[in-house]
Amino acid sequence: MSNYIIFFLINLNRQIKQLIQLCSDTIFILLSFFLTLIVHNEPIIILNNTDIYIILLSVVFINLITFSFLGLYRAVIRHISTETIKHVGIGICVSAVFMYLVSQLFKVYLPVNIIFTFSLLLFCMQLGARVGLRQIYINNIKSDKKSVAIYGAGKAGLQILNSISKGSDYRPKMFIDDDKNLIGRRIANLNIFSMAQAEKLFIKYNIDVLLIAIPNLPHSIRNNILTQLQKYPMQIKAMPSLKDLVEGPIKINDLKAVSIKDLLGRNVVEPDLALMSKNINDKVVLITGAGGSIGSELSRQAIKCMPKMLLLLDISEAALYSIQSEINALAIDQGTKFEIIPIICSVQNSSQILKILKKLKVQTIFHAAAYKHVPLVEHNIVEAIRNNVFGTKTLGEMAVKSKVENFILISSDKAVRPTNFMGSTKRLSELICQDLALKNVTNFSMVRFGNVLGSSGSVIPLFQEQINKGGPVTVTHRDITRFFMTIPEAAQLVLQASSMGTGNDIFILDMGAPVKIIDLAFKMIHLQGLKPYLETSNKQTNGDIAISITNLRPGEKLFEELMLGENSIKTTHPKIFKEKLSGIESVELRKLQNLLLKACELGSIEDIKAVLVHPKIGLNHTGKIVDKVLL
């Protein structure tokens, strides 16, 4: 019933609301005066004096005029603040002075103590009514507000609390902090708890959102927080950086939902700008696959290093247009002046590639063009080999012929002991580059790393799409793990690794510890404030989003590796290592390439497989061949 009344009052038009306030304040003035007479035990005979009523009407008039002038009837009651207290006080002081002057004018004796008591009672009634209505509104609209716990009782936490207090979306319930000197104290009527204490109260307080108000909180601590809170369906938001705190007051809108990228990303080592720029600054740089996930990020990072000319090559017109537009805008924003040339071309087109390299005098090539989605490659083996293997061969040979200074191949962890055709194409590409490096014309390097967050074909966008649709989230195996790295970090490390190459080097990026995919699924669902549950055969549900275990896809393996050998070689960069591997004799390699080309022309997948099981390539494909050759 009270909810109905509140909503009825809220939905009244502004004029009716103002009329109700005018009538209420009039009643409060009259009631305050009569109560004052009772409190002071004044004879009721005073009321028989008609001049008293004239005084009261005059006070009503001046009080309403003053309140109107001060804007009290324009204010939204549910948003009243300290300004409201001040304005009510001013209005009542004016009314009290006016009452005294009018009583003197009409020669009606009203002692000062009566006027004081009247003013005090009127203040309590007029302000109390407004505060009371505001509280009733808050109490009855609880369902529209999210209960919030603020992690961090420092300066940023106080700023977030102030921002919340001015809004209508959140209702703060507690502070959480690890500082033992703060635990047990109070800030703005909110208790400060340790995380262990707070966990016991999350259900009691029905906490919906945890706001992390600590600038630059390390990824490891954020990950620990999420792990601790995984059993509670709450959303987690955090401050982006310390810079936001320095530049001005933090507002609730400055906090962004903690994404899985924040949790899986490591504390990134600041890039060495000298290393990043060595093969790019004032050079003509070509990036193949420039419209793809890695190629586009390499392009973004490259413009920071001030190339003489940047060539963006891709076979997809749409992808190329998109990255060209973005790079042009970024170059203008940072005030750099160099030519950016988009090139639609296949890396298999030897004559066109040679013409581009010679005419534009290319000095550095980052070769990121490849088909890399394992299940798709399993269905399109021939085309993947033509692009990944023979495309790399063509581009590398043309680079040598054009005397390009540096050639950097973007490889993959799937090249290590491959169980799928995609991985074997990457391993063979590495061997081709190793062989071309022996010509001592172009400095060939290979950079090998695992999954990048948010790339095309990555599990992250797939899980997010499935969560948005209400599930289920599909995981191929309970024990499957993968390495993860953010795209910007991967691109920066690739640029730095390229500067360390002395020829025939395979660089390995430190990907950190492998992540269990089923844990990733649980965390992503939890970050949406939803409760995940594992789907079982009895179809019982005890959460919001189901996690369904399917089967390993064609060519997919449980664990990825980054190295073929046992030992890695340290470099000057803490996140970059080298692996020295012997290649294949040039004559034998050419023989393998000829056999592979013939098998592709015949469309014989068994013949292709026979080539790729070579010990140096090491394809161990035990699954069903699913390729359907289109003749």
Is the distance from CB of 74 to CB of 22 less than 8 angstroms?
Answer: no
d(CA 257, CA 259) in angstroms, rounded, equals 6
Element containing residue 446 per DSSP (H, E): strand 443-448
Distance CA 257, CA 277 (A): 34
142's enclosing H/E stretch is none
Residue 119: per-residue pLDDT: 84
Cβ proximity of 99 and 115 under 8 Å: yes
Q: Residue 288 has what pLDDT? A: 97
Buried b (16+ CB within 10 A) or exposed e, 233-248: bbbbbbbeeeebbeee
CA dist list (Å): 165 to 78, 248, 554: 12, 18, 54
pLDDT at 631: 39
Residue 351 has a pLDDT of 96
Contact 288, 368 (CB under 8 A): yes
Beta bridge partner(s), residue 443: 406
Report the distance separating Cα 458 and Cα 462, nearest Å. Answer: 7
Q: Token digits for 39?
A: 């409190």
CA-CA distance, 447 to 449, in Å (whole number)? 7
Please give the C-alpha separations between residue 67 and each of 27, 30, 72, 95, 630, in angstroms, as whole numbers.
15, 16, 5, 10, 83
Helix runs in 304-420, H state only: 317-333, 350-359, 374-379, 381-385, 391-401
Could you tell me the domains of the chain? 2-140 (no CATH), 145-258 (3.40.50.720), 273-452+484-512+559-612 (3.40.50.720)
**pLDDT tens-digit profile of 163-208?**
777 666 778 888 988 888 888 888 877 889 988 888 888 888 888 8
* The pair of three-digit structure tokens given for residue 48, joined into one six-digit string: 């028989």
Question: Which is nearest to 9 in space by CA: 170, 143, 132, 127?
Answer: 132
* pLDDT score, position 525: 84
Q: Residues in the chain with pLDDT < 70?
A: 1-14, 42-48, 74-81, 135-144, 166-168, 216, 219-220, 239-269, 454-457, 537-541, 562-566, 622-631
Three-class DSSP labels, 513-573: CCEEHHHHHHHHHHHECCCEEECCCCCCCCCCEEEEECCCCCCCCCCCCCCCCCCCEECCC
Would you state the pLDDT for residue 585? 92
Instruction: Please give the Cα distance from 440 to 532 (Å, whole number).
Output: 56
Catalytic: which of 414, 426, 523, 616? 414
Q: Which two tokens stand for residue 32?
A: 């305050």
Distance CA 524, CA 461 (A): 11
Residues 244-259: tens digit of each pLDDT: 444 545 555 556 666 6
Answer whether 579's CB lies under 8 Å from 565's CB: yes
> Is 414 among the catalytic positions?
yes
**Distance from C-alpha of 449 to C-alpha of 502, rounded to nearest angstrom:** 19
Give SS3 for 435: helix
Predicted confidence at residue 99, as pLDDT, reads 83
pLDDT of residue 179: 85
DSSP sequence for 145-199: SEEEEEE--SHHHHHHHHHHHTSSSEEEEEEE-S-TTTTT-EETTEEEE-HHHHH
Cα 613 from Cα 246, distance rounded (Å) = 58
